[in-house]
Chain A
């Protein structure tokens, strides 16, 4: 059973700051997802990673498969980035289809 841990649980930043959210997992995976849950509750997929690094706008996600660790970075943070950021992992190929979720990191960006 994969355990997914995120840190920090809560993060408050000033507009413009560089943000890092961390995710670690206990068992090998085929893919890791970073998701954003906005205040209304809906979930949006930000990245799906199986290796390396991806960038989309001000968001960067990295994964280190050997260390079982991923980070989500937000550059030049903005109040509209305020949301819960969730890491979720999928078992290796041929294994379970389900995603195992972390508890999420609640980010608040103040103007």
Chain B
């Protein structure tokens, strides 16, 4: 079964460092998402991406965050200058043009120290 893959599975970074989380969505999917889950809390929406541009973003997704689809297969989330409160599990997800089923990756644990 096709799946969304994410790398790295776990990253530890110093506060203030830039981090790039990578995702390979399912190949024929057109909608892409990033969500995050702080330990012990609900999963929260960060951003959705369609037709090579951001279609929606949450208030969490401030100027420190950016997304890119650099080569037609990867979908990346960049955090420019990480803060302690960015420590969370980050999930990439994708869906096809038709239908509402969303497929999630296994997540990337980010720990900011």
- Chain B contact residues: helix, strand, loop or mixed: strand
- Which one of B31, B48, B106 lies within 8 Å of A42 (CB-CB)? B106
Does residue B18 face the partner (Cβ distance < 8 Å to A)?
A: no
* Pair A35/B42 contact, Cβ less than 8 Å: no
Does residue B109 face the partner (Cβ distance < 8 Å to A)?
A: yes
* Pair A45/B101 contact, Cβ less than 8 Å: yes
Known A-B contacts A43-B91, A86-B43, A104-B42; the reply to A98 vs B104 at CB < 8 A is: no
Known A-B contacts A30-B100, A48-B100, A90-B100; the reply to A101 vs B106 at CB < 8 A is: no
Q: How many positions in chain A have a CB within 8 Å of any CB in the partner chain?
A: 24
- Which one of A42, A50, A100, A101 lies within 8 Å of B100 (CB-CB)? A50
* Pair A48/B101 contact, Cβ less than 8 Å: yes
Known A-B contacts A97-B31, A97-B48, A98-B56; the reply to A45 vs B103 at CB < 8 A is: yes
In residues 67-113 of chain B, which contact A (Cβ within 8 Å)?
89, 91, 99-107, 109
Contacts of B56 in A (CB 8 A): 96-98
Does residue B27 face the partner (Cβ distance < 8 Å to A)?
A: no
Contacts of B103 in A (CB 8 A): 45
Distance (whole angstroms) from the CB of B91 to the closest CB of chain A = 6
Contacts of A33 in B (CB 8 A): 100-102
* Pair A100/B45 contact, Cβ less than 8 Å: yes
| CA distance in complex: A96, B75 (Å) | 20
Does residue A27 face the partner (Cβ distance < 8 Å to B)?
A: no
Distance (whole angstroms) from the CB of B60 to the closest CB of chain A = 11
Known A-B contacts A41-B89, A41-B109; the reply to A101 vs B44 at CB < 8 A is: yes
Does residue A19 face the partner (Cβ distance < 8 Å to B)?
A: no
- Which one of B100, B104, B107 lies within 8 Å of A31 (CB-CB)? B100
Contacts of B89 in A (CB 8 A): 41
In residues 33-48 of chain A, which contact B (Cβ within 8 Å)?
33, 35, 40-45, 48
The chain B residue with its CB closest to the CB of A102 is: B42
Distance (whole angstroms) from the CB of A5 to the closest CB of chain B = 11
The chain B residue with its CB closest to the CB of A44 is: B104
Ordered by A's residue number, 28 sampled pairs between the chains whose C-beta atoms are within 8 Å are A31-B100, A33-B100, A33-B101, A35-B104, A40-B106, A41-B89, A42-B104, A42-B105, A42-B107, A43-B43, A43-B91, A45-B101, A48-B99, A48-B100, A48-B101, A50-B100, A86-B43, A96-B56, A97-B31, A97-B50, A97-B56, A98-B33, A98-B48, A98-B58, A99-B35, A100-B45, A101-B42, A103-B42
